[in-house]
Structure 1
Amino acid sequence: MRDEWFIRGNVPMTKEEVRAVSIAKLEIGSRRGGGERSGKCARSILFDIGAGTGSVSVEAAVTYPDLRIAAFEKKDEAISLIRRNAEKAGVEDRVEIVPGNLPESLEQYLTGHPETAPDYVFIGGATANTAKILDLLRVPQSGIRVVINAIALESIQEVLSALRDRKIEPEISQISAARAEKAGPFHLMKGMNPVTVICFGGTVCENIALHRNGVL
């Protein structure tokens, strides 16, 4: 989905180049978390933590019709944008907005909805709370597939420190995208902030593994 499609306001948004990679790294449908749904790959649940405009929530919901999303966000303007973008895409019935400060809102939600443990987690705007969030989600024991986006060097260090303390070895990629902008008769490439994509966890679904091994 193009960035221009989303209603923006003054809230930061995961850009489409990074969004495409981040959603792909979640490996929705080919991985699963632990818990009651551990034997299934359908009807999965994604937590979008620090959801901003809701671009990841909405695009994931549009791409995967069986996916349910809980979007965690504290800012009133961002909450309004998530709601409007979900309604615009026709996925408002599958995108639940969870307001409040993190990590308290996550803790309260997990306590009040024990049946709604996630299979996938995307963290795009709460890296300062990474350690507490991982503990609340029982990572790595729960087997949840997690993708974290970070821009500032301090944020990257915060995430890697939390993972190191939990003996998690992540996959790390850095995306450096640029877009052409017209300058008179010429088109010049304008670089965007590099984004570090850190991902780990999840169990490959049996049927996907069988396909890859040529059994099915």
Structure 2
Amino acid sequence: MRYIKDDEFIRGNCPMTKEEIRILSIAKLGVESDYRVLDVGAGTGSVSVQMAKICSKGQVVAIEKNEEALSVIEKNIEKFNVNNLTVVKGEALEVESSIKPYFDAVFIGGSGGNIEEIIKRYGAKLKENGKMVLNFITLNNLYKTLDTLKSMNYEVECIQVSINKTRANSYMMTSNNSIFIVSAIRNL
């Protein structure tokens, strides 16, 4: 499987999960070709599109509320010729009842400040032993997530990742935000 580079995606002014974080997060999800996967807070659709390429015999559902981001996702779907990705417009908790269970994996890249409720509601749409991966920048969301997942009897792992890259043609290093990647397995 070829992973898509950041500069290949159409971005606009929307948040995007960076290449190395995207690769690690998808690897932690353990996505297979026939999986049904959910992306909550899809942004540019970089994670959704990459997962759709991997799940060539499966399905990806992406939820996004931002109008500009929705336009960018559609452009990326067209650019990468993805036909197994469905985009649901709206705030995650408002559209939750329209999202049919069950998913093999759930990725949460954005929460709009409602992380605990999103974990509870979308966790219920996850198959037994299904995986959930969440990305955060803030310690506050990390704490809420770990606390919520542990109270729901998930097996939980957290890693912190810092990526530094050379800038243009120089040897100067530029750092991205440090990211927390939380991986969880649903135990019933």
TM-score, scaled to structure 1: 0.78
Which residue of structure 2 aligns with residue 109 of structure 1? 98
Amino acid at match of 2:132: V
User: How far is the alpha carbon of 1:169 from its aligned partner?
Assistant: 3.5
Amino acid at match of 1:84: K
Which residue of structure 2 aligns with residue 89 of structure 1? 80
Q: 1:47, 1:122 within 8 Å by CA — same for their partners in 2?
A: yes
Task: Return the structure number with greater relative CO, CA threshold 8 A, min gap 6.
Answer: 1
- 5+ residue gaps in structure 2? none
Indicate the SS of the match to 1:21: helix
Q: 1:140, 1:168 within 8 Å by CA — same for their partners in 2?
A: no
Looking at structure 2, the residues matched to 70 and 59 of structure 1 have their Cα atoms a distance apart, in angstroms, of 12
Q: Is 1:6 the equivalent of 2:9?
A: yes
Aligned equivalent of 2:114, options 84, 104, 129: 129
TM-score, scaled to structure 2: 0.89
Q: Is 1:53 the equivalent of 2:44?
A: yes
The percentage of aligned residue pairs carrying the same residue is 34
Q: 1:7, 1:85 within 8 Å by CA — same for their partners in 2?
A: yes
Q: Which has the larger radius of gyration?
A: 1
Which residue of structure 2 aligns with residue 178 of structure 1? 164
Q: Is 1:120 the equivalent of 2:105?
A: yes
User: How far is the alpha carbon of 1:56 from its aligned partner?
Assistant: 0.3
Looking at structure 2, the residues matched to 8 and 45 of structure 1 have their Cα atoms a distance apart, in angstroms, of 25
Q: 1:45, 1:67 within 8 Å by CA — same for their partners in 2?
A: yes
Deviations 1:176-198 (A, max 9, x none): 10110158xx4111111111100
RMSD (Å), alpha carbons: 2.1
User: How far is the alpha carbon of 1:171 from its aligned partner?
Assistant: 1.2
Looking at structure 2, the residues matched to 22 and 72 of structure 1 have their Cα atoms a distance apart, in angstroms, of 17
Q: For this pair of structures, how many residues does the alignment match? A: 183
User: How far is the alpha carbon of 1:125 from its aligned partner?
Assistant: 0.7
